[in-house]
Amino acid sequence: MSDTPLLRADHGAVRVLTVHRPDKLNALDAATLDALDAAFAAAADDDSVRVVVLTGSGPKAFVAGADIAQMNTLTPVQGRDFSLKGQRLMRRIEKMPKPVIAMINGFALGGGLELAMACHLRIAADTAKVGQPEINLGLIPGFGGSQRLLRLAGRAAALELCLTGAPVDAARALQLRIVNRVVPAAELEAETMKLAQQLANAAPLALRGILDCIAVGGECGIEEGLEYESAQFGLMFATEDMREGTQAFLERRKPAFSGK
């Protein structure tokens, strides 16, 4: 078994990152958080990468949580530092200029659900389960779970999952808007890569503009959000991709976007 906590594979313009600690159900320790942070920074800077897919190794877990054995020894100051390390990673993913898809192949619990919620889109196998079970350890979510769950699923669902610690199945997660899609486990990889390829074929600068607009709009008032959208819309007219896309539409052909 490789000692590397993270695997990388490129499929054209789609980069697949796989948390690779199957003996620990892919639990997040400090080294894995660092590896993920470096991998997402590299993907953001690599012009050949247009979409990132994030998943977990093995059939059981996406990421089953943070590494409890490591957390058990932490002091209060170290605990806060561990939380901040995780939160910095989640913000890096959330602010990625390229779409990030979480392919949830099994348990996404605690830090695993927090990791998935930082991604832009989430596709879950019908066998997956998600939850924030920190209460059962005498803890609270530390990588942004309380905040992103609140924003994705609303106050009632955030309180239910965080206060009870009980996981929910994929169907319930879809109902609560925690995940975007649920597919049969046997079709998860194919369906995720199909979506990833669709996004990889889209105009990269327009994708970035959409990600930026939604990120900014989610944190400000409607007037500021609309103003930001108009500014981003105008910037698109300076791109070759906008000219290509509109010309391809007029010529009734598929556009070939270059990211320029």
What is the structure's pLDDT at 3?
75
Q: State which amino acid sits at residue 45.
A: D
Residue pLDDT, tens place only, 209-235:
999 999 999 889 999 999 999 999 999
- Lowest mean pLDDT across 51-55, 193-197, 204-208, 217-221: 217-221
Domains with residue ranges and CATH for the chain: 6-200 (3.90.226.10), 204-250 (1.10.12.10)
CA distances from 65 to 29, 33, 132, 205 (A): 9, 12, 9, 34
**Which whole number is the average pLDDT over 15-23?**
96
Q: What is the reported pTM?
A: 0.94
Q: How far is CA 107 from the centre of its chain?
A: 15
To the nearest 10°, report the CA torsion of 183, 184, 187, 192: 20
DSSP states of 169-203: EHHHHHHTTSSSEEE-GGGHHHHHHHHHHHHHTS-
What is the structure's pLDDT at 70?
87
Residue pLDDT, tens place only, 133-185:
999 999 999 999 999 999 999 999 999 999 999 999 999 999 999 999 999 99
What lies within 8 Å, CB to CB, of 14 at 6+ separation is 49, 50, 51, 52, 53, 193, 196, 197, 200
pLDDT at position 197 over 50: yes
CB 68 within 8 A of CB 32: no
What lies within 8 Å, CB to CB, of 101 at 6+ separation is 51, 52, 53, 54, 119, 120, 121, 122, 123, 192, 195, 196, 199
Q: Calculate the average pLDDT of the chain.
A: 95
Q: Where residue 124 falls among pLDDT bands split at 50, 70, 90?
A: very high
What is the structure's pLDDT at 206?
96
What lies within 8 Å, CB to CB, of 136 at 6+ separation is 165
Q: Where residue 1 falls among pLDDT bands split at 50, 70, 90?
A: very low
DSSP states of 12-59: TTEEEEEE--GGGTT-B-HHHHHHHHHHHHHHHH-TT--EEEEEESSS
Q: Going by DSSP bridges, is the β-strand pair 107-109/6-11 parallel, antiparallel, or unpaired? A: unpaired
Q: Which positions are annotated as active-site residues?
A: 114, 134
Q: Can you read off the two tokens belonging to residue 222?
A: 């409607």
